[in-house]
A and B are shown apart, each in its own frame.
Chain A
Amino acid sequence: MREFWIIFKQAFSTKAKTKSFIITTAIMIAAIFLFSNLSKIIDTVQSVTGGGDSEETLQVIDTSGVLADRLNGQFSANETGITVELSDQSEQALTKKVKEGDIDSFLTLALDDTKTIQANYTTMSAIDFNLPRVIQDALQSIQTELKAEGLSLSGEQVQTLFSPIQFEQKNVSLSAKSEEELNQARVLVYVLMFVIYIAVILYSSMIATEVATEKSSRVMEILISSVSPVKHMFAKVLGIGSLGLAQIVLYGIAGFIAMKTASTDIPGGFTDFFSFSDISTGTLVYAVIFFLLGYFLYATLAALLGSLVSRTEDVQQMIMPMTMLIVAAFIIAMTGLGDPELGYLQIASYIPFFAPLVMFLRVGMLDLPLWEPLLSIAIMLVTIFLLGWFGARVYRGGVLMYGPSRSLKDIKKAIQLGKE
């Protein structure tokens, strides 16, 4: 057991001390902070450069004589920050001014016989989408008022006319969450699924590379003359796994702090979208469980494959089939984000290599009975155990095998050598 911890510690600390690891972690944490404060940063930049919805004056030519005043009132009631300025100049003169860039835009207003508003908005800017919309909305409500007055309707009557209908969606499926919950869960599950996917792919290929490096640098011979290959393999898998978990926890903490400190005053911003307060802790716990299971499943496989090659250059080629499996799992899970109740997802969530992602998707999006995730977890545990047992047999011979081995056929050779 002593040797086990020595190798565990070595696998953890040498990797944690490498420059590349420290730099990647630092960059990721910086990115998390940057991303979560994005809306704040954009606001700051906008207020500094003077863009956005600051005070504006709109030149208006009003032939009706009543509209400009009402428009001004409407603007200030809606807090748009726009003030109407009646212009005594002709349309031609203002058009010229717009063309020369003296003013951004102007508006001409008129009322026809049926009391319908005729408005013309003249501008040079092709990307000004916001202002015309605001003006149109304001004019629309003025028109409604005008027409209502014409029909001698009271304000209350107008309101009843425009009262919105009551529309609510209700899902009677047993496992379904409410639409609102589902949307919230979807974002969280998507993010966590992505994290699991990246982490599993990253750390298991790290294992394969580590093992191949030890083989190619021939440290392996020294290692396995003091520690049994099986012990070495599991210490390695656990060491790198802990490193991965530590890194993810670090990101999690960074993310949490970033959320807390980020501006929450902007409605509809990033923080609102990811309101962590609403997140069920259950989903997070499942995320950790499925990450660990997925990692151990693939890491054991990666160690097995890594033990077959003798040069680090051959690692990627050797673990290609394994990478394909993870990618397939991810794609299957992604298709389920829209509709997590698809039949094939249910099947896939019990297939050990797909389960870490697909079962996590289902458990995160649906209200599953407890036995479903438990069964999936049990299946994965059994697979990990079998793979560990099988991997250890391959590993024992694989680490002694040198030469141009880069196909899965070498597994047989390795087992043979391991027995001897």
Chain B
Amino acid sequence: MTLQLENVTKRFGDFTAVDDLTLTVGEGTMYGFLGANGAGKTTTFRMILGLLNANEGKITWNNKKITYATSPEIGYLPEERGLYPKMKVEDQLIFLGQLRGMSKADAKSELKKWLERMEIPHYANKKVEELSKGNQQKIQVIASLMHNPRLLILDEPFSGLDPVNVEMLKKAILEFRNQGATIVFSSHRMDHVEELCEQLSIIDKGKQIVSGTLRDVKRSFGKQNVRIKSDNDLTLLDSIAGVTSVHKSIEGAVYQVESELVADALLTEALKAGPIRHFAIEEPSLQDIFIEKVGKEHA
């Protein structure tokens, strides 16, 4: 069960929201979809869900077009809360579960299981508007997972959750992946993407500017980080050729370098100034890549 987007383009009048997007998400894969606000993430999701039609290219799930017949296989978590504020949690989940093809009895037993798993069984008879934002998000998560979908579209799933609940949700999503579900999720939180996704894309203004596996993305970025902790004055190191940027902190500094050769030069210079407590060559973080790639476009 593979989700495939081939050369998908979506225009609204003169405005191109998504430009020639191609991606493949295989079974049991979690795909990170990154982009600044207004980059075209939600539009892409809406096209995958069939709410909007692409102007060019095609989107297939399991080699078939996605239609309303497919909807029981899809779980969708929208970016903003999509629940009836005045409906009781239980009624609401039964209603949404039924819409995704569940029988009433199935929906009832599943929602019970999920509420317990999310540690909120006592909210079953409360109205959604009476719950806190985090708990509403949990209900929303249950609504998108309870019918055991094979394709999960998660738009900012972790927003509004505290760290404990983020872990709880991560565990649930990973379980789905291990059972072979295909998962696409978007996030502003690079650390979550780094932790969860095997593959990712960064899109900016509708264009895909980076894509591939996490390792490939990092490797092809070329640059590395050198972290040095020292009590001595390291200002001399800033001017070494090949250092592209410097972030100073109380304990020392992080240097972004073009190659490992530059790292050697840094180490030699630093030792000249005196003893150092820590020296490490690190992979670039996704955050660095994102800021560099997207930030540059905006600059």
A residues whose Cβ falls under 8 Å from a Cβ of B = 3, 6-7, 10, 14, 18, 213-214, 217-228, 400, 417, 420
- Chain B residues lying within 8 Å of A10, measured Cβ to Cβ, are 95
B78 part of interface (Cβ distance < 8 Å): yes
Question: When chains A and B are docked, how far (Å) is the Cα of A220 from the Cα of B72?
Answer: 17
Name the CB-closest residue of A to B153: A225
- Chain B residues lying within 8 Å of A226, measured Cβ to Cβ, are 68, 71-72, 99-100
Among B32-40, B48-56, B197-205, the stretch that binds chain A is B48-56
Name the CB-closest residue of B to A219: B82
Q: Is the CB of A220 within 8 A of B99?
A: no
Name the CB-closest residue of B to A217: B85
Checking A213, A218, A227 against B81 with a beta-carbon cut-off of 8 angstroms, the contacting residue is: A218
Q: Is the CB of A218 within 8 A of B82?
A: yes
| Known interface pairs A3-B99, A14-B84, A226-B100; A420-B78 also in contact (CB < 8 Å) | no
| Known interface pairs A228-B68, A400-B46, A400-B51; A221-B99 also in contact (CB < 8 Å) | no
B residues whose Cβ falls under 8 Å from a Cβ of A = 10, 12, 46, 49-53, 55, 68, 71-72, 74, 76, 78, 80-87, 91, 95-96, 98-100, 143
Name the CB-closest residue of B to A231: B68
- Chain A residues lying within 8 Å of B96, measured Cβ to Cβ, are 222
Question: When chains A and B are docked, how far (Å) is the Cα of A233 from the Cα of B265?
Answer: 69
Name the CB-closest residue of A to B71: A226
Q: Is the CB of B51 within 8 A of A225?
A: yes
| Known interface pairs A6-B99, A225-B76, A226-B100; A219-B83 also in contact (CB < 8 Å) | yes
Q: Is the CB of B83 within 8 A of A225?
A: no
Which 5 pairs, one residue from A and one from B, show the smallest C-beta to C-beta distance? A218-B82, A226-B99, A226-B71, A225-B49, A222-B82
Q: Is the CB of A14 within 8 A of B98?
A: no
Question: When chains A and B are docked, how far (Å) is the Cα of A298 from the Cα of B52?
Answer: 28
Name the CB-closest residue of A to B128: A217
**Between-chain CB contacts (< 8 Å), 14 pairs:** A3-B99, A10-B95, A14-B86, A217-B83, A217-B84, A217-B85, A218-B81, A219-B82, A222-B96, A224-B51, A225-B49, A226-B72, A227-B99, A420-B12
Question: When chains A and B are docked, how far (Å) is the Cα of A213 from the Cα of B72?
Answer: 24
Question: When chains A and B are docked, how far (Å) is the Cα of A14 from the Cα of B87?
Answer: 7
Q: Is the CB of A217 within 8 A of B82?
A: yes
Name the CB-closest residue of A to B48: A225
B242 to chain A, nearest CB (A): 48
New A-B pairs, 14, CB < 8 Å, besides A218-B80, A227-B68, A227-B99: A6-B95, A14-B84, A14-B86, A14-B91, A217-B82, A219-B83, A219-B84, A221-B82, A223-B99, A225-B49, A400-B52, A417-B12, A420-B10, A420-B53
Name the CB-closest residue of B to A220: B82
Question: When chains A and B are docked, how far (Å) is the Cα of A219 from the Cα of B76?
Answer: 11
A1 to chain B, nearest CB (A): 12
Q: Is the CB of A217 within 8 A of B81?
A: yes
- Chain B residues lying within 8 Å of A18, measured Cβ to Cβ, are 86
Question: When chains A and B are docked, how far (Å) is the Cα of A168 from the Cα of B140?
Answer: 74
- Chain A residues lying within 8 Å of B80, measured Cβ to Cβ, are 218
Q: Is the CB of B85 within 8 A of A218?
A: no
Q: Is the CB of A221 within 8 A of B51?
A: yes
- Chain A residues lying within 8 Å of B51, measured Cβ to Cβ, are 221, 224-225, 400
Residue picked from A7, A14, A223, most chain B C-beta under 10 Å: A14
- Chain B residues lying within 8 Å of A417, measured Cβ to Cβ, are 12
B234 to chain A, nearest CB (A): 50
A243 to chain B, nearest CB (A): 16
Question: When chains A and B are docked, how far (Å) is the Cα of A417 from the Cα of B76?
Answer: 21
Question: When chains A and B are docked, how far (Å) is the Cα of A16 from the Cα of B231?
Answer: 72
Question: When chains A and B are docked, how far (Å) is the Cα of A400 from the Cα of B53?
Answer: 13
A15 to chain B, nearest CB (A): 10
Question: When chains A and B are docked, how far (Å) is the Cα of A302 from the Cα of B236?
Answer: 71
B159 to chain A, nearest CB (A): 13
Name the CB-closest residue of B to A232: B99
Question: When chains A and B are docked, how far (Å) is the Cα of A221 from the Cα of B10?
Answer: 19
Name the CB-closest residue of A to B79: A218
Q: Is the CB of A218 within 8 A of B78?
A: yes
- Chain A residues lying within 8 Å of B87, measured Cβ to Cβ, are 14
Checking B49, B52, B99 against A420 with a beta-carbon cut-off of 8 angstroms, the contacting residue is: B52
